[in-house]
Structure formats: structure tokens, C-alpha cells
Structure 1
Amino acid sequence: MLRKEHQEENLQIKHEYLLYSAIFLNTLIVVVNTSMFNVALPSIADDFNLSPGASSLIVSSYSTVFAISAVLYSKLSNSFQLKNLLTFGMLCLAVGSLLGMFSNAFYLLVLARVIQAAGASSISALGIIITTRYIPFYRRGAAMARVAAAVTLGFGLGPLLGGVITEYTGWENLFAISILAILTIPVYQYLLPREASYGNKMDVLGLLWLVGGIVSLLLLLATKNGLFIPGILCLWLFWKHIEKAETPFIQPDTLKNRTIAYLFGIVFITFFINFAIMFVTPLLLVEIFHITNVAKLGLILFPAAILSSLASNLIGRAVDRFGAMKVILAGISCLFLATFSFSAFGYQSIVIVLIAFIIGSSGFVCITTGVPNIISEHLPPDQANTAIGTLQLCQYIGGAFGVTVSGMVLDQFVLSKALNPFWHHSGNEFSQTYLVLCFIAVVAGVLYYTLNKKQRSKNIPFHEVKKGL
């Protein structure tokens, strides 16, 4: 932990504005970088002659490394200078981007995305730490609002920029945008103070077991190669290890808390479905509606992305007024409605695809807004911070599995007739994929019902907080 005097230190107003301008720019670049590749996947798959399962590795590898690195940066922040961690992260992002621009082989492209993720996750994790460590409590809301604005803008611009750049200059140039991140390094080096720190012990073995297990399972699903099956045992070894480790990579008590475990499950499924929708929908527009112009593809998804992002303010107010649990239920309902609509009617018109995309994205925002509120209310502050870090891990690991599994279903479940009786078109593999997501949304509903029933039986209602994290 940092010394108390450093925790209470705060930046001057002019410095704070410049610092958050840099954080805003980096957050915008990271979110755009995450979202714009989805519309380019059909072009990338065509250039490298990839199946949907293989192309899913572009997204799942990024999400997996992003998730684990974000937790790692949070833990390293007590042992290393924030300015140096951010500098390392921005350099990784730039190096990965340069490699991606000149990737002439699929494995180089995946490697570039992995290096990008290792750098991009730094701003996600450390931006929150900077706010809580150096910004006075009464101004933290405004500081976080600037970051939220960058996220909203990034998710809106991502599909549009991805489509235009891919269509007119080639997907390789999508990487060029992220190189701009290195421009902020002097700002961090100059403004962030030198911190006193303690050399906290890092659970390297736990990290290795976790990475080995997750990567093995993802590669097994993506390649169907049985050689990766033994690697899954790493997950069991990880669990055994953190139960005995002095400073475990993830606190086992957090995972043993049933209420928190149910919430983690709901969030895992939410990111699973949302990332799968973002991966499959551009492929559906290409295959079913024959949209070969990638710029047009980005323009189609742009309104849906920006509208769902703008809805975050209304959803935040709904949490304050109606309570987080009701908003989460609405979100799960939206995910079910969106995936069923895709599975049943996604072939009929682009308008239906857009409406379903907006509904699904709104459901995603509902759940990701409501869950942190419940965690912060249910746990003491010290445990809540640990749980939020683990929550971020669940989010992007869920996204990685969502993309991988949906790619596998697209490859393997091409039947003579769609399982959904409302689908009357070729390309029934898309209907099957969305139907799988629909059933997974039902699982989220079961988790919600069990969680709600558990709390009612104990007569311990969730006290709804007035402000989100």
C-alpha cells in the first residue's frame, strides 16, 4: 500500500485537467481499438482464408490478455510507480500497433493484438486508481464522468471508423490509431508524482496457472485439438493454489461468497453474449444481406452503438430510482429478447438487426451499471475493491469465451433446417448461434432468480445505492 501522505496528496486544478485530457484520449483510443475490429473481421477472415472459429481468436486473445493484465496492473500499482506502469502500457500498445500494421501472417496479427491488449489494459486499471488516489472525494464523480464520456464516444466511433478505414485504406491501418497513445507518455511522466511504495509479493504461480487454464480452454474450443485438454487442469491447480497462497492472485473468499458468485456469473454471461453479438452480427450482415462495403457495415452499426451508449445516462438514473436489481432484471430480459429476435427474424431486414442490436446493447449497459452498485453495497470497502477487480477479470474472460464459442457454433452447427421455427432462410448457422446465446440468457435469468430468492429467504434486501461506481 502507498503511504498515507501520498494517498491524501492531490493534483492542482490545471494539472488535473491536463492529466485527465491524457486519460480521456487514451481511454478513447482503447475503446475504439476494442470495438472497431469487429466490423473488419469479415475482411480479415477473407484475406487470411479463416473460418469463423479461427477468426474469433483475434477477439478472444485480445480479451483474455486484457482481462488478466488489468488485474495485474492493479496489483503492480502498489509496487511500481504509476507513471512508469502507464509508460510501459502505452509503449506496449504502440509496439503491438506497429506489428499489426505490417502483419502478413495470421499468427503475427494475433500476436499484435495480444501485445496491444497488454498495453491497453493499463489505462483501464490505472485510470481508476489515479482517480481514487489523487482526486479528492468531492471531485471524483466529475473525474470519472470524463472517462465515461470517452467510453461512450469510443463505442460510438469504433464501428464507424473501423468500417471507413478498412474499406478505403485496408484493415492494417486500424492499428495506426493506437500509436497515438505514446503522445501521452510525457504527460504521465511530468504530472504523476513519485510515490512511496512497498514491495508486495506477487502471486506469479497463481497467475501462470490461471493463464494456462484459460488459454488452453479457449484454444481447445477454437481449434478442436485434443492436445490442449491437459492444459485445462491448470484451472483446478489454480483453485487449489489460491486456497493456500499467502497473497493469492484472486481472493478465494470472494469467489466463495454465493451472492458475489451469482453476480459474477451474470456478468460473465452478459459479456459472453454481448461480445458474441458484436462478433456474429457483422458476419450476418455480410452473409445474409451481402453487404461487402465495410464502410457501409460500419455506418449501419454506428447508430445502434451510439444510441445504446447514450442510453447509459438514463439507465444510471433508473438505478437510482428503481434499484439495481430491477435494472439488472430488465437487462437480462433485453438480452433474451435481442438474441431471440436475431435467431428468429434476423434474416428479414437490416432494421430488425439494428433494433435487436440496440436492445441487446441496452441490456448490456443495464447489467454492467447495476452489478457494481450491488457489490459496493453488499461488501465492505476493502472487499468491494477486490471484488471489482475480479469482476473486471470475469467481464473480459466472458467476452473471450463468447466470441470463441459463437465462432465454434458457426463452424459446426450448419444444419439443413434452423432449430428456430421462425427462421426461414439459408444461413441457418446464424440462427443456431443466436439461439445458443438465447439459452445462455435464460441461464442468467435463473441465476438472477436464485439470487433474488436467496436474499428474500434471508429477509436481507439489497439496499440500493444512490450513485454508481
Structure 2
Amino acid sequence: MSDKTPAELTRSQKTRLVVMLCVILTFTVMNGTMFNVAIPDIAEDFQLLPSQVTWVMTGYILVFAVGALMYGKLADMYPIKRILTVGIILFAAGATLGLFSQNYAMLLAARILQATGGATIPALAFIIPARFMPKERGRVFGTVSATVAFASGLGPITGGLIGGAFDWRYLFILSILSLITLPFLRKWIPDEEVRPGRIDVIGALLIASAVAGLLFFITAFSLTGLGFFAAAMLVFVLHIRKHPAPFIDPAMLKDKYYTTAVMTSFLGTSVMFGMIFIVPIMARAVYGLSTIEIGLLLFPGALGAAVIGQRGGRLVESRGSYPVLQLAFLLAITGSLLISIFIGIPPFLLALCILVQYVAFPLIQSSTANLLTELVPKEKTGVGIGMFNLMNFLSGAVSSAIFGAFLDLQETSLRLNPVAIYDGLALYSNLFLAISLTAVVALFLFTRRFRGRKRTAL
């Protein structure tokens, strides 16, 4: 591997790069959350069950997940500028196909093509600060995470306005506009040399196959899907033992701190994706809200998350990742528990409960990303962050599929939360109680593993 490192960027160069990185991230994240609020409309257009329409998000996230690790690996070998150029072009091409989609199959094809290119953006958004701005990475991670949180809330508002006034297909136009960032990113991202390495394509395909089988089992309760998952994972385990550069490095997974950090991030992100997936469906079923009103319900949380995320990056730099991540999980537990208790109250009050949970998202992202950059060797930053992104997106796919399957029940008489104030909304109350318990497990695992680790090591 070449010892040559990129030249140090000036302050103005760093600022411009971060700004443009946040712009392209906004397009990417909005692409996901815009379609969240459009899910009821898509289901109505194509006559789909919740477990079927969830593949608009799940299929996208599945490709995103595998792509995030693949692009992280590629970033350890090829110039980031080159990878991002290909990614943005594919992302816009998928959006163009989606704009003209006439059936569900065409829509899914468009989303998968989008994900193939769009996976470069969040994958590299955390690698760029670690590589080109190591001294400010905590603060930049906070800015990136705040952007993700804000865009996730801006997406429903935008999706509601466009989908309500026109048609959900017009949402793809905003993704096509991501092309405007390409010349600026090519100009401002530093040049790099190609470094030697190998890509485990077979390993990537096996992981994708395993996850697809798992999701098919969850959404359709198919034993065939479960068997496909088990077979693919078995072949993958045998494969990585012999491959000189496996898709997932077994040596990295032997680091108990790294593995715990990635696993708790997986659980934490499933909490956030679960909330963002359930709320639009719940808001339509319980409150009869329109698409734009669903966006307004989520927006205060996203705005609060943007503010807290920015401050959280500075807090990570001054206090370390450990206390910030603990705080984030406490907020996630509290917020989801409040939603579980108070579902059925007026929407503007429920928005405050959502706000509490929403602000946990950027804190989980920024503190975990900062922690991982210190746990993995510099030459493996790309694949280390790639694994982080892989598990995050997988958590979104799995949680959306699981919750989509439960939402097919439509109602239940079993109320698991004894203090929930409305008996007739037990299904949604139970789901948010499960989300809260998931955050409790994540907090327990993280605290137990890192309890003996010195703060200076974090």
C-alpha cells in the first residue's frame, strides 16, 4: 500500500467540502424519507399489503447495506472522488427510471438502481472526515449526522407537499437534481492514488443473498426464505475462511470492542428506522392524517435532531463517545416509551414524544462513527466504517420488514404496556414498547462491554 497521504486541506477547503457533502447527503436521505410518507399512496396505487409495500424501503435498504460495505472496501483501494462520481450518476439514473415507473416491478427496479449508486454517499460521508479531516472528525461527524437527521425530517414535508399536490412519482425529480453537486465534489475532494487490494465479490453476493432470504422469511413467513438464509450464511462462513481478502474480515470481528460498538449501533439504528417506518402508517390509520400532515408530525423531531446533532459532535470531541452514546440510548428509550403510552393523544402532542426519540439518532451515529475510527487501524478505516454502515442499513431493512409483518395484523387485543392510555390502539403501543426494550438491550450491551475501558481510549 502506498504511504503517500493526501495533502492537508486548508480551513476554507474543509468548509466547502463539508457543505457540499451535506448537500448531497440531504438529497440521499430525503430520497428515503420522502417515500416513507408516500408508502400509503404507493400501497393504494398498486393494491399492496404493508408487508409488500415495505419492499419499496426494504429492497432499497438491502442494496444500500451491502453497497455501503462494498464501497467502504473500495475506498481503501480507489480514490474517493472516482467512487463518488460513479455513485451519483447511478443514483440519478435510478431516479429517472422511477419518475416514469408504471408498475410495482418497475418502481422496485428504479429503487434498487438508485440504491446501487446512492450507497456511495453515506458510506463515504463518514470516511471523508476520517481521512481528510482527522483533527476535526468528531465535529464533522456531528455535522454529518445532524444533516442526516434534519433531511430525514425535511423529506416527509417535501414528500407530503409534492405527493399531495401532484403524484408520488415526482419525488424522484429531487434525486435527479443531485447531479448538480458532482462538479463541486470532483473539484474539492483531494486527489488520491490507487492502492493495491482485492474485492470479494462472491462474499458480497452471499451476504446479499443471506439477507434477502432472511427478509423474505420475515415478510412472507416463508421457510424457503429461512433455508436460503441459512445456506447462504453457511457457504459464506466457509468462503471467508479461504479468501485472502474476505468481504467481512474475521480478524476485525474478533475485536470485542469493535464488534460491540457495531452491534449496539445496529440495535440503535433499528430503533430509529422502526419509528420512522411505523409513524406514517400509524398516523394514517389512527389519526387519518394526509401525507403532508404526516410530514408535519415528523418535522419537529427532525429539526430538533439537527440542532442536537450539531452540538453532539462538539460534545463527542470534548467528552468522548462513551457518555454521548449512553445519553442517546436513554433518549431513545424514553421517547419510544412515551409514544407507546400516549398513542391516541392529539397529533401535536404526540409530535413532542416523537421529538424525544428523534434527537437520539444523530447522537448514536456521530458518537459510534467517532468511536470506530479510533478502534480500527487507519489503513482499514474504509472497511471499518463500511461494516458500521452495513449493519446500520441492515438494521433498517430487518426492522422495517419485521414491523411491516406485524402491521399486517392491523389490530390486536393484547396490550403489553399496562399504562398505555388507549385500549383500542394496542398494536401500535406494543410495537413502540418493543422498540423501547430494544434500546434498553443496546444500552446494556454497550455499557457492560465498555465499562472497564478508559475514557481516554474512547
Contact map agreement 1:57 1:222 (CA 8 A) in 2: no
Measured in 1, the distance between the counterparts of 2:130 and 2:444 equals 35
CA distance in 1, matches of 2:330, 2:174: 36
The partner residue of 1:422 within 406, 419, 422 is 419
Give the secondary structure class of the aligned counterpart of 1:426.
helix
Alignment partner of 1:227 is 2:224: yes
| Aligned-residue offset at 1:131 | 5.0
Match of 2:58 among 60, 63, 66: 60
Identity, % of aligned positions: 28
CA contact (8 A) 2:138 2:317 kept: no
Say which is worse superposed, 189-198 or 383-392, in terms of deviation: 189-198
- Matched residues in 2 for 1:438 and 1:331: separation? 12
Aligned letter for 1:463?
T
Q: Deviations over 1:434-458 (max 9, x none)?
A: 2222332232233134324xx43xx
AA partner of residue 281 (structure 2): L
Contact 1:334 1:360 (8 Å CA) reproduced: yes
The alpha carbon displacement at 1:183 in A equals: 2.8
Identify the residue that residue 288 of structure 1 maps to in structure 2: 286
- Determine the structure 2 residue equivalent to 1:396: 393
Q: More deviation in 71-80 or 208-217? A: 71-80
Provide the rounded CA distance (Å) in 2 between the counterparts of 1:396 and 1:243: 25
SS at match of 2:115: helix
The CA distance in 1 between the partners of 2:139 and 2:440, in whole Å, is 37
CA deviations on 1:368-393 (whole Å, 9 max, x unpaired) are 23223333444544456543221111
In structure 2, what residue type is equivalent to 1:104?
Answer: Q
Separation in structure 2 between the aligned mates of residue 140 and residue 261 of structure 1, nearest angstrom: 21
Q: SS at 2:359's partner residue?
A: helix
Q: 1:395 Cα deviation (Å)?
A: 0.8
Show structure 1 runs of 5+ residues with no match.
none
Q: In the alignment, what sits opposite 1:184?
A: 181
1:154 corresponds to which letter in structure 2? Answer: A
Q: 1:308 aligns with which of 291, 305, 309?
A: 305
Residues 410 and 433, structure 1, Cα contact 8 Å, conserved in 2 = no
- 2:203 aligned with 1:206, yes or no? yes
TM-aligned CA distance change 1:193 to 1:31, over 3 Å: same
In the TM superposition, what is the alpha-carbon distance from 1:267 to its structure 2 partner?
Answer: 0.7
Structure 2 match to 1:74? 72
Q: Taking structure 2 as the reference length, what is the TM-score of the superposition?
A: 0.89
Query: Residue in 2 aligned with 1:268?
Result: 266
Q: Residue type matched to 2:201 in 1?
A: V
- Three-state SS of the structure 1 residue aligned to 2:244 is coil
In the other structure, the counterpart of 1:354 is: 351
Q: Retained in 2: the 8 A contact 1:374–1:462?
A: no
SS in 2 for 1:421: coil
Pair 1:297 & 2:298 matched? no
Name the counterpart of 2:403: 406
Q: 1:392 is aligned with what amino acid?
A: N
Find the aligned partners of 2:145 and 2:437 in 1 and give their Cα distance: 31
Q: Displacement of 1:427 after TM fit?
A: 3.9
Separation in 2, partners of 1:46, 1:315: 40
1:336-375 equivalent positions in 2, closer than 5 A: 336-375=333-372
> What number of residue pairs does the alignment pair up?
456
Matched residue SS, 1:50: coil
Matched-pair contact (CA < 8 Å) for 1:343–1:433: yes
> Which residue of 2 is the match for residue 333 of structure 1?
330
Find the counterpart in structure 2 of residue 115 from structure 1. Answer: 113
Q: Which moved more, 1:358-367 or 1:111-120?
A: 358-367
Q: Which residue, 406, 424, 432 being the options, matches 2:430? A: 432
Any idea what SS the aligned residue of 2:456 has? Answer: coil
Pick closer, same or farther for the CA change 1:58–1:138 going to 2, 3 Å. Answer: same
Moved more, 45-54 or 389-398: 45-54
**Does the aligned pair in 1 maintain the 2:68–2:119 contact within 8 Å?**
yes
TM-score by length of 1: 0.87
Q: Distance in 2 between matches of 1:448 and 1:309?
A: 24
Question: Are the structure 2 counterparts of residues 65 and 81 from structure 1 closer, same or farther at C-alpha, using a change threshold of 3 Å?
Answer: same
Q: What is the CA–CA distance in structure 1 between the aligned matches of 2:84 and 2:135, rounded to whole Å?
A: 25
